[in-house]
Structure 1
Amino acid sequence: MVAKIIDGKAISEKMRAGLAKEVSNLVRHMPKPGLAVIVVGDDPASHVYVRSKAKQTIEVGMESFEYQLPASASEHQLLDLVATLNNDERVDGILVQLPLPHHINAEKVLRAIAPAKDVDGFHPLNVGLVATGSGGMVPCTPLGSMILIKSVRDNIAGLNAVIVGRSNIVGKPMAQLLLQESCTVTIAHSRTADLPAVVGAADILVAAVGRPEMVRGTWVKPGSVVIDVGINRVAAPDGKSKLVGDVAFGECLDRAAAITPVPGGVGPMTISCLLQNTLRAATARRA
């Protein structure tokens, strides 16, 4: 058995094409949806990611608003900008690019975003709504991961799902989404006793622990679906660097039924889900 490679890039492109059609229909009778992205500091990776978000936002027919603050910007300045965007009728979604400089309390900033414009799904109100199955904005990476899972196995009710990683951004909301699909869910992490055995029971494995190739092929249950959320830069044999996930991809190809690559798996889905959340926010606000 050779695992099916789940092509997140192709799935996300199809998803954005559908969003573009929805936006085109929407703007016939209301203003374009608008996404505002705030980046603080000069981290090159953050700026590359923000440019990609802006490009894809415009491609689907939405308005893109980008705000760049210097690394020396105060927490008060950032909070003032968030408050301004909360009251800006052109803006339907607000995203603050993480990480923030150490002198800024990220949790305080994320709580300041209006829940209706919280397209990242990090505000406590949205977290609670998702946890109780009552709606709310779903964080983009877990939402994208679920779409990839359902692309290869539509009915997952009753399956054992294991998430390696307990972050508020991926692990915990991923567990809520899987519970809503009637999976039996285990959240594991780097300190779980006998982690290989726990992983080995997974029909669906979501790796989001942030350690390069931590999950070995021998851990993976034959026939399982493996979603690798990790993005880690490591040294390559040629002296350069390369991106790898949290799963030893090559070792899993003859064990898993389906697996996401890194790059080209979960990553492209995150931006597409951000745009989907923005469209959803715009529709709800302007209904």
Structure 2
Amino acid sequence: MAEAKIIDGKAFAAGLRSRVAEGVAALKASHGVTPGLAVVLVGEDPASQVYVRSKERALVELGMNSFDHHKSADMTEADMLALIDTLNADPAVHGILVQLPLPKHMDTQKVLARIAPEKDADGFHVVNAGLLATGSPGATIPCTPLGCLLLIRDVLGRDLSGKRALVIGRSNIVGKPMAQLLLQADCTVTMAHSRTKDLAEECRRADIVVAAVGRAEMVRGDWIKPGAVVIDVGMNRIPAAEEGKTKLVGDVAYDECAKVAGAITPVPGGVGPMTIACLMLNTLTAACRAAGAPVPAEAVA
């Protein structure tokens, strides 16, 4: 059997960002509105600083406004909630993103719940989760699952009806919303997790496998149905062959699975670039909704 098609998330994300930039320019021209995202970073976590810088750079590149709020780790929860209230009330801010993790003295759920649902750029608010779960219009879709769905449709086409899909992992950030998106696309969806019995057999039935369980190379080649589409959300660091070095791998044993799958995302370069591109898309979508303008087609499940 031929090697799997490698799903180039980096190239797809570049195309999506280009389309978002066109949407930003069109919204400015038609309504005089510039989409704006407020990014709140508390503390000095190095990984968070890298993520935030890349998000802020992307906003500027696409012609959006970036409102940066970098706060010290001793910021009080009360001050954080007051900042979110201010951003909620600011008409120039269409999306709010609080970079996680927050310091331990802050209640993450309380902070995220304070964000106005229509400005929830990450799609984590319980109102957006409820809208997505009930198939109601107006949901902001979490960035990583939305990116996965766009990649799946790029391979299989928009019509996914009747496909068997397996989502491995049940997090509120990826697993649960991913399952909801696939259900809305008329797939037959199974959710698996750490306590699933005979996970390999569940995988062998699936036309689409989305692995988001956080365990390095857990999904093996002999688990994959020939020709299946495999989307690997995992990002795990493991020791490399060279002593003292590490390498980045996904939740899928890539070399094994690529021999069986029809299409597969690599790590890195697969799902990762889609997350920031979809954050830009969500910010544009929020600005369109606020202005009463048509939303981008890709932002609607």
TM-score (norm 1): 0.98
Match of 1:6 in 2: 7
Q: Secondary structure of the residue that 2:170 maps to in structure 1?
A: coil
Kindly indicate whether the alpha-carbon contact (under 8 Å) linking 2:218 and 2:251 is maintained by their aligned counterparts in 1: yes
CA–CA separation in structure 2 for the residues paired with 1:213 and 1:73: 38
Q: Secondary structure of the residue that 1:27 maps to in structure 2?
A: helix
Match of 2:298 in 1: none
Deviation at 1:146, TM superposition (A): 0.1
CA–CA separation in structure 1 for the residues paired with 2:81 and 2:240: 41
Which residues in structure 2 correspond to 1:88-237 (within 5 Å)? Answer: 88-135=90-137, 136-154=139-157, 155-237=159-241
CA–CA separation in structure 2 for the residues paired with 1:94 and 1:119: 6
Q: Which runs of 5+ in 1 are unaligned?
A: none
- Output the aligned Cα RMSD: 0.9
String of CA shifts for 1:193-251, please: whole Å, max 9, x gaps.
Answer: 11111111111000000111111111111110000001111221113111111101111
Give the partner amino acid of 1:265.
G
CA–CA separation in structure 1 for the residues paired with 2:7 and 2:68: 32
Match of 2:278 in 1: 273
Give the partner amino acid of 2:263.
A
Deviation at 1:2, TM superposition (A): 0.5
Give the partner amino acid of 2:168.
V
Give the partner amino acid of 1:271.
I
Kindly indicate whether the alpha-carbon contact (under 8 Å) linking 2:33 and 2:291 is maintained by their aligned counterparts in 1: no
42, 51, 54: which one pairs with 2:53?
Answer: 51
CA–CA separation in structure 2 for the residues paired with 1:55 and 1:118: 20
Deviation at 1:90, TM superposition (A): 1.2
Deviation at 1:31, TM superposition (A): 2.8
Spell out structure 1 runs of 4+ moving beyond 3 A. none
Match of 2:257 in 1: 252
* Aligned residues with identical type, % of pairs: 60
CA–CA separation in structure 2 for the residues paired with 1:221 and 1:195: 13
Give the partner amino acid of 2:155.
V
Kindly indicate whether the alpha-carbon contact (under 8 Å) linking 2:211 and 2:252 is maintained by their aligned counterparts in 1: yes
Match of 2:295 in 1: none
Moved more, 133-142 or 232-241: 232-241
CA–CA separation in structure 2 for the residues paired with 1:80 and 1:237: 49
Q: Tell me the matched-pair count.
A: 287
Give the partner amino acid of 2:233.
V
Which residues in structure 2 correspond to 1:62-73 (within 5 Å)? Answer: 62-73=64-75
Q: Secondary structure of the residue that 1:36 maps to in structure 2?
A: strand
CA–CA separation in structure 2 for the residues paired with 1:228 and 1:212: 11
Deviation at 1:259, TM superposition (A): 0.3
CA–CA separation in structure 1 for the residues paired with 2:225 and 2:101: 34
Deviation at 1:73, TM superposition (A): 1.5
TM-score (norm 2): 0.94
Moved more, 161-170 or 25-34: 25-34
Q: Secondary structure of the residue that 1:255 maps to in structure 2?
A: coil
Match of 1:25 in 2: 26
Q: Which runs of 5+ in 2 are unaligned?
A: 293-301
Kindly indicate whether the alpha-carbon contact (under 8 Å) linking 2:214 and 2:251 is maintained by their aligned counterparts in 1: yes
CA–CA separation in structure 2 for the residues paired with 1:73 and 1:97: 14
